[in-house]
Structure 1
Amino acid sequence: MKKKVCLITGGNSGIGKAAAIQLAEAGVTVIIGCRNEERGRTALEDIRAQSGSEEVELLLIDMSSQASIKKAAETVKLKHPVLDILIHNAADFDISRKKPQFSKEDVETVWATNHIGPVLFTDLLMDELKRSEQGRVLTVSSQGLVMHPFLKVDLEDPELRESKYSVEKAYYQSKLAQVMYTYWLADKLKDTPITVNAIRVPNVKVDLDRYPDLSAIMKRMYAVKSKFSISPEEMAETYTYLALSPEMNTVSGKYFDEKRQTVSSSKYSQDKNNISQVMDLTLKYI
């Protein structure tokens, strides 16, 4: 029986790494996407050791850079003509950032990494997904959107170049766009064996060492927040279930929480006209 192949971006730490370990333990060939080679190779060895599987590979990719994404897609195609699972786990959300940063293509990095990158990467790997008996695409959003029920994607200024920049606003807007993309892509692929679903991630314990520039107050706030957060391993169990469960073979266009229950997104995000407008904007970037 041929092994399934799963590519998970941001697979070198947190939920992504935990999911990579679980998937490798389940007998899946796992490709972890990481932009930093040193951290990627360290994670690669950890995942192999903890899962007991050597079928784990490293893919260097910067999800904010379209050039990097295109190069990575070509690398995948050369080795894996069939891709069974694509998990868009990587995200840009540096909670210490005060000013916008821009990619090599001059796109604000939160918008580029969290939304434009996944759309482009999926498109480039679509032929490989279609060769799978039952391909699966999983996008990742945030439970924090519940606190922003009236949030809309700014069609005129999605990169927040003209308005006051806030990394939180940039992040939640990008995650809203990903939910809308999930609905759009699921509809586009409804006559294929490929399913597309989104995952709503709640508060997950954060490794504060990844944010050395955080103020002492912010560190204390996140330390308190962590007491009420689930572990990356617990959240990864939902990733693994949605990626591998036979019960999910024909489920598409849904939004799942950490308990594997379907949840609703905002009315704005479900409106077909709004989805069309967001995707028209998105496709102009790629």
Structure 2
Amino acid sequence: MVERIVIITGANSGIGKAATLKFATEGYTVIMACRNIEISKIVQKEIIEASKNEKVELMELDVSSFNSIRKFCSEYKNRYPKLDILIHNAAYMNHGEKIYQLSPENIELTFATNTFGPFLMTNLLLDYLAKSEDPRILNACTTNIKHFFDPKRKIDFDNLHGEFKESRPYSVYKMYGDSKMALLMLTFKMANEFKNSGIKVNALQINGVRMSKETIKKLRSFWKVIATIQNVYFPPPAEMANNYFHICTSDEFKNATGQLINHKREMIQPPKGDKDNLVERVKQIFGSSCYPRYATETDNIEKIWEISTQLTKN
């Protein structure tokens, strides 16, 4: 196989770790882009031994920090000739967090990690993706965006720097859903912007997956109990990692771009018609065939694109 290179952010645990093992086992050169190097070194060794593939590299990256992203991309370009696949897997959601957190650039931490970090990283690596014969980008999305089936749900664009942190209650779950909705809208916009370069950009809607023991240990007591119960019913990370691999490598998705794909590898569509009643909303929330119309509204897409561009331009 001609060498193909994939970057996976947050590759030391959960789906990221499982995806790294999958790509490595299939012979890819895998760049583990991780914040905690000491923990990641142990995982890197495990994956090399399990996959029998020495081409599993570890590079430091904090996706919430623009300086870290710029340093990572610069070092990557000095070491590698191209990039074939970029998977934005890393995400921030600290269960039970009630205090407004800011990134090194004074941006709300969830948005910095889940939205603006991937936006900046993608743009810094565009020229290297363009060197690939089959460049693909995959953004990890979430079923949490289904809250936007509620027509009253909006992204708080005016509170991304904590402008109202003293007067508005902070919900990490709302911020997580908002940041992933923003990432989905950027997916649609990027697909259109990059199509002339042949770069495909898609998002995968991730439903629940089993948490690792290491992740559960980090949770507060109440959430440890919830996660332990959920683990009985949720599939292992390897199942979603297989979706990562299939979407980023198969002929089935070779020409797909600007799509949100569900866990069944089906392309999800916006709702048909103008129905907006309780019964229809319940069907949408519990189904997996459509996403909220909010994601397709031009004003929303242009707003998050403009904000992302402005915040990352320096």
Cα distance between partner residues in 1 of 2:159 and 2:102: 14
Take 1:36 and 1:153, find their aligned partners in 2: how far apart are those partners? Answer: 30
**What's 1:25 paired with?**
25
- Tell me, what secondary structure is at the counterpart of 2:129? helix
Match 1:230 to one of 232, 235, 240:
235
Q: What is the match of residue 57 of structure 2?
A: 57
Give the corresponding residue for 2:156: 154
In the alignment, structure 1 residue 193 sits paired with structure 2 residue 198: yes
2:53 alignment partner, SS class: coil
| 1:140–1:198 Cα contact (<8 Å) kept | yes
Gaps of 5+ in 2: 269-289
Which stretch has the larger CA shift, 212-221 or 34-43?
A: 212-221
Q: Cα distance, 1:272 vs. partner?
A: 2.0
Partner-residue secondary structure (3-state), 2:33: strand
- Cα distance in structure 1, aligned partners of 2:260 and 2:124: 24
1:152 match: secondary structure: coil
Q: Is the 8 A contact 1:111 1:159 kept in 2?
A: no
Q: Deviations over 1:43-92 (max 9, x none)?
A: 11111111111111001000010000000000110111210000000001
Sequence identity of aligned pairs in percent? 34
One-letter amino acid matched to 2:295: S
1:209 aligned partner, one-letter code: E
Stretch deviating more after TM superposition (217-226 or 47-56): 217-226
Q: Which residue pairs with 1:280 in the alignment?
A: 306
* Structure 1 residue 160 displacement after superposition: 5.0
Cα distance in 1, alignment partners of residues 95 and 213 from structure 2: 10
> Secondary structure of 1:234's partner?
helix
* Distance change in 2, residues 1:228/1:148 (3 Å): farther
Structure 2: how far apart are the matches of 1:159 and 1:256? 31
Match of 2:261 among 253, 256, 259: 256
Task: For 2:16 and 2:178, locate their aligned partners in 1 and report how far apart those are by CA, in whole Å.
Answer: 21
Shift of 1:106: 1.6
Could you tell me how far 1:246 is from its partner in structure 2?
1.7
How far does residue 94 in structure 1 lie from its aligned partner after superposition? 1.1
Which residues of structure 1 form unaligned runs of 5+?
none
In the TM superposition, residue 19 of structure 1 has moved relative to its aligned partner by 0.4
Q: Compute the RMSD of aligned alpha carbons.
A: 1.5
Query: 2: distance between equivalents of 1:67 and 1:190?
Result: 28
CA distance in 2, matches of 1:52, 1:205: 26
Name which of 185, 189, 204 aligns with 1:184. Answer: 189
Partner SS, residue 22 of structure 2: helix
Deviation, structure 1 residue 123: 0.3
* Correspondence for 1:270: 296
In the alignment, is the contact (CA less than 8 A) between 1:197 and 1:255 conserved in 2?
A: yes
**8 Å Cα contact 1:63-1:90 kept in structure 2:** yes
| Equivalent residue number for residue 89 of structure 2 | 89
Q: CA deviation at 1:273?
A: 2.4
The equivalent residue for 1:114 is 114
CA deviation profile, 1:177-201 (whole Å, cap 9, x unmatched)? 0100000000111222210000000
Instruction: Check whether the contact 1:19–1:237 (CA below 8 A) recurs between aligned residues.
Output: yes
Structure 1 match to 2:9: 9
* Secondary structure at 2:6 match in 1: strand
Aligned partner letter, 1:191:
N
Report deviation, 1:208: 4.9
Larger radius of gyration: 2
Distance 1:147 1:224, change over 3 A: farther
CA shift at 1:215, angstroms? 4.0
**C-alpha separation between the residues in 2 aligned to 1:178 and 1:284?**
16
Contact 1:96 1:211 in 2 (8 A): no
Shift of the alpha carbon at 1:284? 1.5
How many positions carry a matched residue from both structures?
A: 286
Note if contact 1:198-1:255 (Cα within 8 Å) is conserved in structure 2. yes
Report the secondary structure of 2:27's partner residue. coil
1:191 counterpart SS class: helix
Q: Is the 8 A contact 2:141 2:183 kept in 1?
A: yes
